Chains A and B, each alone.
Chain A
Amino acid sequence: AASPASAAFAVAVAGGGRAGFRPPPRATTRARAAAASGAASAYTAMPAQPQPTFYDLLGISAEGSSFEDVRAAYRRMARKYHPDVSPPDAAKEHTRRFIQVQEAYETLSDPSRRTTYDRALARGVCRLAFSPAARRHDAEQEEKSGWRTSWEGQISELKKRSTVKDAEENLSWGAQMRRRRAEQS
């Protein structure tokens, strides 16, 4: 399986990102070197240590954890980090964690959102922040690959049609002109 670094690098080089801004060349070569050496260090534009995923936050494994596991883990974490039950000096940090846990649960408890998140993880596009824009992005990608099938079919049909388009019965002005042009050439 490709390491997150090389996956992220592949995304950057393909230029498939929506933003026009490219990271400065130095970072790319470093990432390329890192990928070449097979190091597991994350893409250099991000912080040095890899960010936790939603699964890490909830303390469950990515594969095989059912909806029940997710919910139980969420309950555990929520009880631990809820601002009302945390010590006052840790309130700010706990609130932050709680919100992250909340977001993790919302994503992982919904089957379709979870699948999209898993796919995004595999591509190395994101770890923790699964913003609505990214979600929409993936839905869009799926839709777009469906478009290709659609227009490929339309093009083949266009070609089919064109072979019979200017048959004698077609008396449109354009057909008449095309026939005349074909006769002259």
Chain B
Amino acid sequence: MALSSTFSLPRGFLGVLPQEHHFAPAVELHARPLKTPTRRSYGISASLSEREAEYHSQRPPTPLLDTVNYPIHMKNLSLKELQQLSDELRSDVIFHVSKTGGHLGSSLGVVELTVALHYVFNTPQDKLLWDVGHQSYPHKILTGRRDKMPTMRQTNGLSGFVKRSESEYDSFGTGHSSTTISAALGMAVGRDLKGAKNNVVAVIGDGAMTAGQAYEAMNNAGYLDSDMIVILNDNKQVSLPTATLDGPAPPVGALSGALSKLQSSRPLRELREVAKGVTKQIGGSVHEIAAKVDEYARGMISGSGSSLFEELGLYYIGPVDGHNIDDLITILREVKGTKTTGPVLIHVITEKGRGYPYAERASDKYHGVAKFDPATGKQFKVPAKTLSYTNYFAEALIAEAEQDSKIVAIHAAMGGGTGLNYFLRRFPNRCFDVGIAEQHAVTFAAGLACEGLKPFCAIYSSFLQRGYDQVVHDVDLQKLPVRFAMDRAGLVGADGPTHCGAFDVAFMACLPNMVVMAPSDEAELLNMVATAAAIDDRPSCFRYPRGNGIGVPLPENYKGTAIEVGKGRIMIEGERVALLGYGSAVQYCMAASSIVAQHGLRVTVADARFCKPLDHALIRSLAKSHEVIITVEEGSIGGFGSHVAQFMALDGLLDGKLKWRPVVLPDKYIDHGSPADQLVEAGLTPSHIAATVFNILGQAREALAIMTVQNA
């Protein structure tokens, strides 16, 4: 093939190869000279030079935190001690995350809030809900899990998100965003029905507020008028990262502007002072009148922002300095002590990454980091020879878009995670970040397709679940040519089951008009991007996993060639058993065939490429020339294997001596851990596949030998 093999770096890139990681952007941004707004190139700055360490290198002593295992141990602390506790908690989070990796910036932003909440409220009787859950590290430390922090995000260790089965202090499991107001309302209503008296508090970020479900919940909460507290944690970070490759960007969406206006609503304050003075003079039993005056004043003066929450029926308090424990405790105490409040929204302003200078300055605020050195903030990245599939996708899309001006890209607040920040930099007018709004993203793409554009929706497989009805009803039913690029398909490692893309093959392939395909390596990915760009009469989708490419020759400039739709390929010619893989599972099949070959059997390995439409000719030929067909995919039941079985049954291929066995993800949720551990747990390792081959052939001894070697 006349392809020049190149592992060339993405356009305009300088420095270290970006590593595929949930958190790749943090590294890339450090490879470039950071534009730090606090430094002027010529002024003499009183702060320390960049080269010196700006943080402790050794974990500082934490005398107060050492005495707090559960929130009850905090109840007798004074304000000063609580402040000290916050500082110790902050450094504890930094040092723990430096050893394990994880989500840092968000946790640092809520240290004071966490301390205040646990101090004022009586968890776990009072319910505390953390939206998304990645900011819950301080919460976990304060609720009996400090000693387990070194196991964060590892197999059998602490989950990186909030999980009910992990602790009674984790009231509601989260991972996807914008669910806590709904859940909190449910808990509040349940409490009311039971006649109980506990408090319910939901902490939700301004990014999560861009999702429709938050409004559905607030709307309902205002109507039901049940007592509950919603804390809006506003740090002006709406997307991940709320930055382009070249520096911070203003948050997407109109809501952020409205929230900003709330922070400086001076006229309302002044009027309120006057109103307070007037009320004092009138005195006595004119509470109702004064309340009415204030209500009108609010509506008149405050403009858009607080009225939005007020109109939805939530009482608005704020803005509040989220790093001032005194303020937080005062407010929380007052609200807790007031009977019959209905739903209250407290607008808290925090800074993501607060307290760690490197995080404060980074464009992505150290949202998610690998292990790092606390003193210098440098992350330790394992160098790899290939880029991540995410990067390859971005490069491929750029290559297609260079030649076709109709190609546009849409993502839902995941510019870093989907790689579309690269696309944004190259085509600033053709990349759309809609905020955390997958449903809207899909229908928005459908609208674009109506106008003849070629939209690529890059949404993680598990996040696309949120926009499923839109995929069915707005895209597939009308046969609009929207392309879905589903990253993080299959098992995802440390993020766990909340982010696992197990179901996308099943829910996409059952749609009548959808073309469903999956690349087995990065070159195939480039070709499938080209294929999707070429399919203009129906919707299409392709899935690719978390991780790096395997290292195959790539076409020049990442420009793939469209492949024939519904055509698979044979990787290895063999006999007796055919391993028909879909997507990245093909690589496991290749490895399995090597293991099997050591025991004297050469099996066929085929890459189906398409789940819909299936390569009927390939399947028929495999069925005719083999005793066993094993379909392998990293997805749930009801996906690729089911479609192959359906076809074979209808075609009469199963009426003879042919045996079919599926290898799929098991019927349970695989917990977070290292990718290798997860594969073992799922039974999808090459050894498992090889053992399956021998089991079907009745060669139990070989199967046992393979599994024992693997487990030795």
Could you tell me which A residues sit within 8 Å of B by CB distance? 15, 18-21, 46, 51, 99-100, 103, 126-129, 131-133, 143-144, 146-151, 153-166, 170, 172-175, 177-178, 180-181, 184
9 contacts between A and B (CB under 8 A): A19-B54, A20-B87, A132-B37, A146-B266, A150-B272, A173-B225, A174-B225, A174-B226, A177-B192
In the complex, what's the smallest C-beta–C-beta distance from A106 to chain B, in angstroms? 11
Q: Is the CB of A15 within 8 A of B354?
A: no
- Judge whether B29 is part of the interface by a CB distance below 8 angstroms: no
Q: Is the CB of B317 within 8 A of A158?
A: yes
Please give, as numbers and ranges, the residues of chain A lying within 8 Å of B91 by CB-CB distance. 20
In the complex, A99→B288 CA distance in Å? 61
In the complex, what's the smallest C-beta–C-beta distance from B366 to chain A, in angstroms? 13
In the complex, A163→B273 CA distance in Å? 21
A18-B360, A160-B291 known; A126+B46 contact, CB < 8 A? yes
Closest B residue by C-beta to A153: B272
- Judge whether B331 is part of the interface by a CB distance below 8 angstroms: yes
A150-B272, A153-B272 known; A21+B44 contact, CB < 8 A? no
Q: Is the CB of A162 within 8 A of B341?
A: yes
Please give, as numbers and ranges, the residues of chain A lying within 8 Å of B45 by CB-CB distance. 129, 131
Could you tell me which B residues sit within 8 Å of A by CB distance? 37-40, 42-47, 54-56, 83, 87, 90-91, 94, 189, 192-193, 195, 197, 223-227, 263-266, 268-269, 272-273, 276, 287-288, 290-291, 294, 315-321, 324, 327, 331, 334-335, 338-342, 344, 349, 354-357, 360
In the complex, A131→B42 CA distance in Å? 11
In the complex, A159→B339 CA distance in Å? 8
In the A-B complex, the 10 residue pairs with the closest CB atoms:
A174-B225, A172-B225, A133-B38, A20-B355, A177-B192, A174-B226, A153-B272, A129-B46, A154-B317, A165-B340
Closest B residue by C-beta to A46: B46
In the complex, what's the smallest C-beta–C-beta distance from B591 to chain A, in angstroms? 46
In the complex, A153→B56 CA distance in Å? 41
Q: Is the CB of A175 within 8 A of B225?
A: yes
In the complex, what's the smallest C-beta–C-beta distance from B362 to chain A, in angstroms? 14
Please give, as numbers and ranges, the residues of chain B lying within 8 Å of A174 by CB-CB distance. 192, 224-227, 342
Closest A residue by C-beta to B270: A149
Please give, as numbers and ranges, the residues of chain B lying within 8 Å of A181 by CB-CB distance. 192, 195, 197
In the complex, A56→B502 CA distance in Å? 68
Q: Is the CB of B327 within 8 A of A148?
A: yes
- With most chain B CB atoms within 10 A of its CB, the pick from A51, A164, A170, A178 is A178
Please give, as numbers and ranges, the residues of chain B lying within 8 Å of A133 by CB-CB distance. 37-38
In the complex, A127→B189 CA distance in Å? 57
Q: Is the CB of A143 within 8 A of B318?
A: no
With contacts A127-B46, A161-B291 known, what are 17 further pairs, Cβ within 8 A? Answer: A18-B354, A20-B90, A147-B349, A153-B269, A154-B315, A154-B318, A155-B317, A158-B317, A158-B334, A164-B287, A165-B342, A170-B225, A172-B342, A173-B223, A174-B227, A175-B340, A178-B340
In the complex, what's the smallest C-beta–C-beta distance from A163 to chain B, in angstroms? 7
A150-B268, A158-B341, A160-B290 known; A20+B357 contact, CB < 8 A? yes
Q: Is the CB of A21 within 8 A of B357?
A: yes
In the complex, A184→B342 CA distance in Å? 20
In the complex, A160→B189 CA distance in Å? 24
Q: Is the CB of A155 within 8 A of B331?
A: yes
In the complex, A74→B293 CA distance in Å? 53
Closest A residue by C-beta to B60: A22
Q: Is the CB of B55 within 8 A of A20?
A: yes
Q: Is the CB of B43 within 8 A of A131?
A: yes
A150-B272, A177-B193 known; A160+B287 contact, CB < 8 A? yes
In the complex, what's the smallest C-beta–C-beta distance from B257 to chain A, in angstroms? 17
Q: Is the CB of B320 within 8 A of A151?
A: yes
In the complex, A176→B224 CA distance in Å? 10
- With most chain A CB atoms within 10 A of its CB, the pick from B39, B316, B338 is B338
In the complex, A151→B276 CA distance in Å? 13
Please give, as numbers and ranges, the residues of chain B lying within 8 Å of A143 by CB-CB distance. 263-264
Closest B residue by C-beta to A184: B195
Please give, as numbers and ranges, the residues of chain B lying within 8 Å of A129 by CB-CB distance. 43-47
Closest A residue by C-beta to B222: A172
Closest A residue by C-beta to B290: A160
Q: Is the CB of A19 within 8 A of B334?
A: no
Closest A residue by C-beta to B319: A147
Please give, as numbers and ranges, the residues of chain A lying within 8 Å of B44 by CB-CB distance. 100, 128-129
Please give, as numbers and ranges, the residues of chain B lying within 8 Å of A132 by CB-CB distance. 37-38, 40
Please give, as numbers and ranges, the residues of chain A lying within 8 Å of B94 by CB-CB distance. 20
In the complex, what's the smallest C-beta–C-beta distance from B537 to chain A, in angstroms? 50
In the complex, what's the smallest C-beta–C-beta distance from B563 to chain A, in angstroms? 53
A19-B54, A181-B192 known; A166+B287 contact, CB < 8 A? no
In the complex, A67→B226 CA distance in Å? 59
Q: Is the CB of A99 within 8 A of B223?
A: no
Q: Is the CB of A173 within 8 A of B224?
A: yes
Please give, as numbers and ranges, the residues of chain B lying within 8 Å of A128 by CB-CB distance. 44, 46
Q: Is the CB of B223 within 8 A of A158?
A: no
In the complex, A174→B291 CA distance in Å? 21
Q: Is the CB of B288 within 8 A of A164?
A: yes
Please give, as numbers and ranges, the residues of chain A lying within 8 Å of B55 by CB-CB distance. 20-21
In the complex, what's the smallest C-beta–C-beta distance from B313 to chain A, in angstroms? 9
Closest A residue by C-beta to B354: A18
Closest B residue by C-beta to A145: B321
A153-B269, A172-B223 known; A15+B83 contact, CB < 8 A? yes
A148-B327, A165-B340, A165-B341 known; A21+B54 contact, CB < 8 A? yes
In the complex, A36→B519 CA distance in Å? 72
A131-B38, A162-B339 known; A99+B268 contact, CB < 8 A? no
Please give, as numbers and ranges, the residues of chain B lying within 8 Å of A151 by CB-CB distance. 317-320, 327, 331
Please give, as numbers and ranges, the residues of chain A lying within 8 Å of B335 by CB-CB distance. 155, 158
In the complex, what's the smallest C-beta–C-beta distance from A179 to chain B, in angstroms? 9
- With most chain B CB atoms within 10 A of its CB, the pick from A151, A173, A177, A178 is A151
In the complex, what's the smallest C-beta–C-beta distance from A50 to chain B, in angstroms? 12
Please give, as numbers and ranges, the residues of chain B lying within 8 Å of A146 by CB-CB distance. 266, 269
Closest B residue by C-beta to A147: B319
A131-B38, A150-B319, A157-B294 known; A173+B195 contact, CB < 8 A? no
Q: Is the CB of B269 within 8 A of A150?
A: yes
Please give, as numbers and ranges, the residues of chain B lying within 8 Å of A175 by CB-CB distance. 225, 340
Please give, as numbers and ranges, the residues of chain A lying within 8 Å of B54 by CB-CB distance. 19, 21
Please give, as numbers and ranges, the residues of chain B lying within 8 Å of A20 by CB-CB distance. 55, 87, 90-91, 94, 355-357
A20-B357, A164-B288, A173-B225 known; A153+B46 contact, CB < 8 A? no
In the complex, what's the smallest C-beta–C-beta distance from A103 to chain B, in angstroms? 6
Closest A residue by C-beta to B276: A153
Please give, as numbers and ranges, the residues of chain B lying within 8 Å of A165 by CB-CB distance. 340-342
Please give, as numbers and ranges, the residues of chain B lying within 8 Å of A148 by CB-CB distance. 327
In the complex, A19→B358 CA distance in Å? 10
In the complex, A121→B338 CA distance in Å? 43
Please give, as numbers and ranges, the residues of chain A lying within 8 Å of B324 by CB-CB distance. 144
Closest A residue by C-beta to B87: A15
In the complex, A100→B43 CA distance in Å? 7
Please give, as numbers and ranges, the residues of chain B lying within 8 Å of A164 by CB-CB distance. 287-288, 291
In the complex, what's the smallest C-beta–C-beta distance from A19 to chain B, in angstroms? 5
Please give, as numbers and ranges, the residues of chain B lying within 8 Å of A170 by CB-CB distance. 225
In the complex, what's the smallest C-beta–C-beta distance from A17 to chain B, in angstroms? 10
Please give, as numbers and ranges, the residues of chain A lying within 8 Å of B225 by CB-CB distance. 170, 172-175
In the complex, A149→B56 CA distance in Å? 37
In the complex, what's the smallest C-beta–C-beta distance from B311 to chain A, in angstroms? 15
In the complex, A164→B292 CA distance in Å? 12
Q: Is the CB of A103 within 8 A of B338?
A: no
In the complex, what's the smallest C-beta–C-beta distance from B284 to chain A, in angstroms? 13
In the complex, what's the smallest C-beta–C-beta distance from A36 to chain B, in angstroms? 21
Q: Is the CB of A147 within 8 A of B46?
A: no
Please give, as numbers and ranges, the residues of chain A lying within 8 Å of B197 by CB-CB distance. 181
Please give, as numbers and ranges, the residues of chain A lying within 8 Å of B37 by CB-CB distance. 132-133
